Amino acid sequence: MIKPKYLIERLKNIDTTNLKNRVADISSKTGRNKLSVTLDILACGIKYGAGYMDYWLFKFYEKTKKERATYITRSINDSLVRKYNTLDARQYFISKVLFNEKFEKYIGREYLHTKELSYEKFESFIEKHQTVFLKPHDQACGLGIEKVNLADFKNKKEMFEYATNGSFDLVEEPLIQCDKMNEIYPHAINTIRICTLKINEKTQVFYSAIRIGNGGKYVDNYNAGGMAAYVDSKTGIVTNTAIDRTGAIYEEHPMTKTKIVGFQVPKWDECVKLVKQASFVVEDMGYIGWDVCITEKGPVLVEGNDFPGHDIQIPKYSGDKTGFMEIYKEILENSEIGI
């Protein structure tokens, strides 16, 4: 049972227009009247800590009570973050600048801070990397990130003035993913999301997914039209069809025609080793969603998420109607007996 205080706070901030739209959508799909759908959403909020977006995204309207109970809902995810991550430690993951500094050993790319950046240093960097990513301080989901090329500007001076106009905190060398990852989609870095849980000084992989770009875009996020598919954490093999935020299912990539189910993520053991090592860099961070890029030289960290998005459970239900709660319970049990 979810605490009433949490529910009250959520109800205060609810987007009533969006709620009405989701209720109408579910009603049209199921044939149930809107009042029945609304009451069920409220019941799921009380029992499972599921907001109306959880209810819609995870298709609770198609699931049994037993299946619903297997999901890490918004409320449960919030509680995991509070339990395993301290506010002070989370700053290294909220700030892209602090993250790069703290995890420099693992990121595999050169970068510059725009604060107090000299033109001479920028010029030298651009001569080496004519295409770069400009990143803001703390935006999530790829928001605010721009990919720019020297050819887009009159000269290096104009490019420098744009990079240092106050909108960006980092200038980064682009990562180049390996040929195998290019096969599935070549226009973006298709990151591997590996979520780790560190309990009693032991790190285990909680869940894994491959995030794949689409539509010619250079980011792979759900919110930018990307898709995701569940990855077996032991083998690195994609076990389910991919799904995007609209609910569209993909057995193969619509642009490259690469088969998604059965795709073997390259260098999988190296990926797992990387995130487990990185999980010990910041002591008071136990629940982290790592985004990994696989280069020809090996995997590197793109970023770490102090608040792993629970909507990554979406790709699992295209072949399995359960969420990640049973995996979490198994990790807790293993930790207690020292496995």
SS3 sequence, 105-150? Answer: HHHCCCEEECCCCCHHHHHHHHHHCCEEEEECCCCCCCCCCEEEEH
Per-residue pLDDT averaged across 228-244, rounded?
Answer: 93
Q: Would the pLDDT of 6 be above 70? A: no
What average pLDDT does range 204-213 have in this prediction? 94
Residue pair 205/196 in contact (Cβ under 8 Å)? The answer is yes
pLDDT of residue 176: 95
Q: At which residue do the structure tokens 């591997």 appear? A: 192
pLDDT of 338 reads 54
Residue 50 has pLDDT above 90, yes or no: yes
How far is Cα 263 from Cα 116, in angstroms, rounded to an integer? 45
- Looking at domain 110-172, its CATH superfamily turns out to be ATP-grasp fold, A domain (3.30.1490.20)
Torsional sign, CA 228, 232, 233, 236: negative
Contact between 257 and 271 (Cβ < 8 Å): no
Q: Is the pLDDT of residue 7 over 80?
A: no
- The dihedrals phi and psi of 254, each to the nearest 5 degrees, come to -65, -25
Per-residue pLDDT tens digits for 66-122? 999 999 999 999 999 999 999 999 999 999 999 999 999 999 999 999 998 999 999
What CATH number belongs to 85-101+177-336? 3.30.470.20
Q: What is the pLDDT of residues 262-275, one digit of tens each?
A: 999 999 999 999 99
Question: For the whole model, what pTM was predicted?
Answer: 0.89
pLDDT of residue 218: 81
Adjacency order of strands within the sheet including 202-212: 249-250, 242-244, 227-231, 202-212, 192-199, 287-295, 298-305
Q: Does residue 122 contact residue 163 with C-beta atoms inside 8 Å?
A: yes
Please report, for the chain, the start and end positions of each structural domain, with discontinuous segments joined by +: 4-69, 85-101+177-336, 110-172
